[in-house]
A and B are shown apart, each in its own frame.
Chain A
Amino acid sequence: MNPTPTLVPERLGTGPPGRRAAEPRTRRRAGRRFGVRVLAVLALLALWQVAATAARNPSFIPTPGAVWDQLLRLSTTHDGIRGYSGSLLVEHLGVSLRRILIGSAIGVAAGLVVGVILGTVPWIRVVAEPVVTFVRALPPLAYFSLLIIWFGIDETPKLWLLAIAALPPVAVATAAAVHGAPKDLVEAAGALGASRWDVIRDVVLPNALPEIFTGVRLAVGIAYSSVVAAETVNGVPGIGGMVRDAQRYLQTDVVVLGLIAIGISGLLIDGALRAAEQRLIPWRGHS
């Protein structure tokens, strides 16, 4: 790795001032940050417990203990009833995640194509950009009614909803990044004999990747928050459907449990996307 191997022993001997010394410190800082976070969660739980006790109405604010009991109950078969409405909590979550995955995958793929076209063909952008902005401004629940009329109440309208919700952020981010492709690199590729398509594939898209990834994270987040809307009709099994159903029977502890499950899985997915981003885009911040 090192082009001047003679420098290595010298470095080891004196000990470089920057990196090595910094490592334990950053680890200590990360440890402290983790501790603070655990404390914050504990404080929140305590506050929750106090509020629930003060309210003295489990249908209004269920105690953390009651929600915990629901977690155990919905994760097993009790008195012949399997979880909630025949599905365990993880299964509800799994069905929703599958919808999010498929819906936002379609939305992201379509958003990429739309974004590249918007970013490269000026007259299409003039026509299509207001449409994309229009769709982005619509709340998913508003066009869900139309999707149900068109596609019925099964999986299809749900996937459509999530795809439509996920498309605009990716399209907008891609279009901006593609449009702002660095002229000097495009010119350099052209000077090496790259065709128009080569330039898009080897310069414009890789250059746009960091921004596209931000768009994807945004899109998955929006798909996530739209899944509850998508599952308002015939949404069981599904975590949003479960929450909706429990609300109808005033099972507040199940509602809260569903919210926590959605939130935590959302955090995990965003973390996974961030990790993927760091692996896929090592050049981020280097020009």
Chain B
Amino acid sequence: MSSTPDAAVSVHEVEHVYGTGPDAVTALGPLSLEVPAGSFLVIVGASGCGKSTLLRLIAGFEEPTSGRVRIGDSPPTPGKGAGIVFQQPRLFPWKSVGGNVELALRYAGVPRAERARHIPELLLRVGLRDVAHRRTWQISGGQQQRVAIARALASDNPLLLLDEPFAALDALTRERLQEDLRLVSAQTGRTSVFVTHSVEEAVFLGSRVVVLTRRPGRIALDLDIPLPRTGLEPDELRALPEYAALRATVSQAVRTAAT
């Protein structure tokens, strides 16, 4: 079986087992999934359903016990083909905010002369202004996560992987970042795979939502979210009747899948 030509990510019959012998735990699968280029896929599931494992397999941090993962045509390699945002910002405290973005640009192969110009651009794209000279611990948790996103956007990778990036933030900050991320993804047209346990977040962000069963995670629901990606204010979007209906569907699926 070959993946469809426009699939940015293809996961084929993947199964992942942690440990060996009697301690072995099957975390995931078997599971197959195709992510078309330009789509925003959100993977939802309860804790321990293997959703983070799936993302780590797509990122190339781990190799599946069986099955195959492809980014475009090649097996995933960390640092090649995908920008990654983790649950914690993971900024380098020995670098300033701008220094963190600069490092990402350098790793992405951007020549030194152009980096200085790109840093404020990238920070502005995630809604940050006048913070480049700050130390990383001098900005708020929400701002730190914005820097982490800017860092992940530094290379021109067509794929963005996000592992519960807003889970540690307070509700208000979280909502702001969701709105901004939705906008950024619409503007850049990148393919995104976003892992969360929040149904609300999934329906708001995704152009497609996949619900995983409890361990070993398999696909319980694969749902297109036909909401407009641009042109609506976040509050207008949340007020749509379709939005409420989709949320109810996903919520129901998550609850069923968890039992």
Listed in ascending order, the chain A residues whose CB lies under 8 Å from chain B are 3, 184-185, 187-194, 198, 202-203, 206-207, 209, 281-283, 286-287
Contacts and interface: CB of A to CB of B under 8 A. Distances in A.
Nearest to B87: A184
B92 A184 contact: no
Given A206-B92, A283-B93, A192 B137 contact: no
B83 interface: yes
Q: Name which of A190, A192, A198, A203 has the most chain B CB atoms within 10 A of its CB.
A: A192
Interface stretch (B36-44, B100-108, B206-214, B216-224): B100-108
A191 B135 contact: no
Contact of A192 (B93, B107, B136): B107
B239 to A, nearest CB: 30
B103 A184 contact: no
Given A3-B130, A192-B151, A202-B92, 16 more contacts: A184-B90, A187-B90, A191-B59, A191-B84, A191-B152, A192-B107, A192-B152, A193-B155, A198-B107, A209-B94, A281-B94, A282-B135, A283-B93, A283-B135, A286-B93, A287-B93
Contacts of A188: 84, 86, 90
A193 B79 CA distance: 4
9 contacts: A184-B88, A189-B103, A189-B107, A191-B61, A192-B107, A192-B152, A193-B79, A194-B79, A281-B94
Nearest to A206: B94
B154 interface: yes
A187 B93 contact: no
Interface residues of B, number: 28
A185 B90 contact: yes
Nearest to B94: A206
B94 to A, nearest CB: 4
Contacts of A198: 107
Q: Name which of B84, B92, B152 has the most chain A CB atoms within 10 A of its CB.
A: B92
Q: Name which of A191, A198, A282, A286 has the most chain B CB atoms within 10 A of its CB.
A: A191
B80 A193 contact: yes
A187 B107 CA distance: 14
Contacts of B79: 190-194
A11 B104 CA distance: 37
B101 to A, nearest CB: 10
A212 to B, nearest CB: 13
Contacts, number: 66
Interface in B24-66: 59, 61
Interface string B112-149: 00000000000000000011000111000000000000
Contacts of B83: 191-192
Given A190-B78, A193-B79, A286-B93, A184 B104 contact: no
B92 A185 contact: yes
Given A283-B137, A286-B137, A192 B92 contact: no
A189 B86 CA distance: 12
A78 to B, nearest CB: 54
A278 to B, nearest CB: 14
Contacts of A189: 92, 103, 107
B5 to A, nearest CB: 26
Q: Which 6 A-B pairs have the closest CB atoms?
A: A193-B79, A193-B107, A188-B90, A206-B94, A283-B93, A191-B84
Interface string B232-244: 0000000000000
B90 A194 contact: no
Contact of B155 (A190, A192, A287): A192
Contact of B135 (A190, A202, A207, A286): A286
A187 B61 contact: yes
A193 B153 CA distance: 12
A283 B94 contact: yes
Nearest to A191: B84
A203 B90 CA distance: 11
A209 B83 CA distance: 28
A184 B80 CA distance: 18
A209 B93 CA distance: 12
A282 B152 CA distance: 25
A108 to B, nearest CB: 20
Nearest to B89: A188
A281 B95 CA distance: 11
A283 B152 CA distance: 23
A192 B108 contact: yes
A286 B91 CA distance: 11
Contacts of B78: 187, 190-191
A28 B59 CA distance: 56
